[in-house]
Amino acid sequence: METILAFTALGVLLVLGMGAFGTAIGFGLLGGKFLEGAARQPELAPMLQVKMFIVAGLIDAVTMIGIGIGMWFTFANPYTAALH
Amino acid sequence: MATEGLTPTSYIQHHLQNLVYGRLPAGYERSDGTILEQDTWTIAHNSSEAVDMGFLAINVDSMAWAVGLGIVFSYFFYRAAKKATPGVPGLWLNFIEMIVEVVDKNVKESFHAKSDLIAPLALTIFCWVFLMNLMDLVPVDWLPLLAATAAGDPHFYFKVVPTTDPNITFGLSLTVFALIIFYSIRFKGVGGFISELTLHPFSSKNLLVQVLFIIPNLILEGVSLLAKPVSLALRLFGNLYAGELIFVLIAMLGYWQLPAHFVWAVFHILIIILQAFIFMMLTIIYLSLAVEHH
């Protein structure tokens, strides 16, 4: 039982950590490209900003799914339930 | 919620459990020890009962709030539409016109076929998802405590944010998925729809090679087609579930709650608007891809 809990905690940490890592890099690239584009053509900045938010939502998606799964494993662990 | 045996974990788990109405089979032993003589339709008293109720159980609190907020949205927009005049609008009418204009502009930019359904669909999705997400900003314990005192049961489960329930988000996204398939077939025909799934992205002039390519094409296009409703639902669910969970976790901090709640709530305002907007934009974009010919 302790082994399951320990490995679940490690698994959740990996999911959250790697999700954060990927999202941070993705947002950094996205924001950088947006700033470059806005600097080249300032009149397009509002339109580019809207599109940036749309892509930001897409980047966040799998990370958030990972967070949801991580929270599910933390608070309603199916492996411990399967033990009972 | 000052009851005996209230630990942090039980507080969190209490806030993450929906009010489930379902059928428990005959011979089932309930949490208070009574054994059921026959199949009863009842409300679950703890989470293992809720799980044992199976597929046909309904999350009553999520459904009630989702339908109720939909009615609120419909009522306010209907009244505004009735009162719309060509003259200078009042404050409320102005606000509604702003929302309708934003949605209309986004639909016009992305959707290039003729359909009367898309813009109202986009408006409904945006406003309804936003209203459901907005329930997350009400402080964590207020509405559940109100419901518990009204029901007279201190262990009453009551989740007020419908979009933290994957059933609700999958309901929305599967409806959008059905519309994607319906629009694909209506604008491209059944043959066009099937050929798009089986003849792209690998194609060849040689008929035999083309037939051999059907399987890999079907796998790739099938995954991409199924990823749309799954990602739509889980993106919204994941964002809102994580947000609500952080509110519940902050609520256990004692007096330090107040600044932490405020900071997180301000960030969460951005998240709820953004997620509603993204759901709407992706719906429009998927439907516009469905009606496009290559």
Tell me: the pLDDT tens digits for B84-95? 777 787 888 888
Task: Check if A9 contacts B (Cβ < 8 Å).
Answer: no
* pLDDT at residue number A32: 96
Suggest the residue from B48, B129, B245, B246 to mutate for an interface test with chain A (most A CBs closer than 10 A). Answer: B245
Whether residue B277 is contained in a domain is answered as yes
State mean pLDDT over B162-176. 94
- Residue A2, both tokens: 């302790």
Task: Check if A45 contacts B (Cβ < 8 Å).
Answer: no
Could you report the per-residue pLDDT of A13-40, keeping only the tens digit for each?
999 999 999 999 999 999 999 999 999 9
Whether residue B163 is contained in a domain is answered as yes
Could you report the per-residue pLDDT of B204-256, keeping only the tens digit for each?
888 888 888 888 888 888 888 888 899 899 999 989 998 998 999 898 888 88
**What residues make up the domain containing B197?**
129-291
Whether residue B16 is contained in a domain is answered as no
* pLDDT at residue number B1: 43
**Region of poorest pLDDT, from A16-25, B50-59, B266-275:** B50-59
* pLDDT at residue number A8: 94
Paired strand residues for B20: B59
For A67, other C-beta atoms within 10 Å of its C-beta total: 23
* pLDDT at residue number A84: 74
* pLDDT at residue number B210: 86
Split into its structural domains, chain A has a count of 1
- Residue B86, both tokens: 């060509």
Q: In this complex, which of A67, A75, A76 lies closest to B238 when CB atoms are compared? A: A67
The CA-based dihedral angle spanning residues A50, A52, A57, A62, taken in that order and rounded to the nearest 10 degrees = 160
User: In angstroms, what separates the C-alpha of A42 from chain B's closest C-alpha?
Assistant: 21
Sheet holding B20-24, edge to edge: B40-43, B20-24, B58-59
Q: How far is it, in rounded angstroms, from Cα B292 to Cα B57?
A: 40
Chain B residues with CB under 8 Å of A71 CB are 241-242, 245
Phi first, then psi, for residue B155 (nearest 5°) are -105, 25
* pLDDT at residue number B103: 93
Look at residues B235, B100, B224 and name the one whose alpha carbon lies nearest to residue A55.
B235
Q: In angstroms, what is the C-alpha Rg of chain A?
A: 19
- From residue B54, alpha-carbon distances to B40, B57, B59 in Å are 13, 6, 12
Chain B residues with CB under 8 Å of A57 CB are 235, 274-275, 277-278
Inter-chain contact A68–B16, Cβ cutoff 8 Å? no
User: In angstroms, what separates the C-alpha of A13 from chain B's closest C-alpha?
Assistant: 15
User: In angstroms, what separates the C-alpha of B10 from chain A's closest C-alpha?
Assistant: 10
User: In angstroms, what separates the C-alpha of B271 from chain A's closest C-alpha?
Assistant: 9
Q: How far is it, in rounded angstroms, from Cα A2 to Cα B8?
A: 20
State mean pLDDT over B146-175. 90
Q: How far is it, in rounded angstroms, from Cα A31 to Cα A52?
A: 8
CB B14 within 8 A of CB B1: yes
Active-site residues of B, by number, are 231, 235, 239
Question: A76: which DSSP letter?
Answer: S
Q: How far is it, in rounded angstroms, from Cα B288 to Cα B115?
A: 10
For B2, other C-beta atoms within 10 Å of its C-beta total: 5
**Residue A50's domain is classified under what CATH number?**
1.20.20.10
Look at residues B252, B230, B248 and name the one whose alpha carbon lies nearest to residue B240.
B248
Whether residue B247 is contained in a domain is answered as yes
Whether residue B64 is contained in a domain is answered as no
Q: B10 to chain A: nearest residue by CA?
A: A75
Higher pLDDT, B69 or B24: B69
- Residue B287, both tokens: 């439907």
B186: amino acid identity, one letter:
R
- Residue B129, both tokens: 């998802």
* pLDDT at residue number B182: 93
Q: How far is it, in rounded angstroms, from Cα B122 to Cα B102?
A: 10
- Residue B75, both tokens: 């009522």
Q: How far is it, in rounded angstroms, from Cα B201 to Cα B199?
A: 6
Using pLDDT thresholds of 50, 70 and 90, give the confidence band for residue B153.
confident
Inter-chain contact B235–A61, Cβ cutoff 8 Å? yes
CB B145 within 8 A of CB B1: yes
Whether residue B159 is contained in a domain is answered as yes
Number of Cβ pairs < 8 A linking chain A and chain B: 50
* pLDDT at residue number B294: 60
B258-279: string of b/e by CB count within 10 Å (b at 16+)? eeebeebeeebeebbbbbbbbb
Inter-chain contact A64–B16, Cβ cutoff 8 Å? no
Q: A53 to chain B: nearest residue by CA?
A: B274
Q: What is the largest CA-CA distance in chain A?
A: 63
* pLDDT at residue number A21: 95
Q: What is the 3-state secondary structure (H, E, C) of chain B?
A: CCCCCCCHHHHHHHHCCCCEEEEECCCCECCCCCECCCCEEEECCCHHHHHHCCCCCEEHHHHHHHHHHHHHHHHHHHHHHHHCCCCCCCHHHHHHHHHHHHHHHHHHHHCCCCCCCHHHHHHHHHHHHHHHHHHHHCCCCHHHHHHHHHHCCCCCCCCCCHHHCHHHHHHHHHHHHHHHHHHHHHHHHHHHHHHHHHHCCCCCCCHHHHHHHHHHHHHHHHHHHHHHHHHHHHHHHHHHHHHHHHHHHHCCCHHHHHHHHHHHHHHHHHHHHHHHHHHHHHHHHHHHHHHCCC
**What residues make up the domain containing A79?**
2-83
Question: What's the pTM?
Answer: 0.87
Mean of the per-residue pLDDT values for chain B?
88
- % of chain B residues with pLDDT over 70: 98
* pLDDT at residue number B2: 46
* pLDDT at residue number B4: 53
Annotation marks residue A19 as catalytic: no
* pLDDT at residue number B221: 87
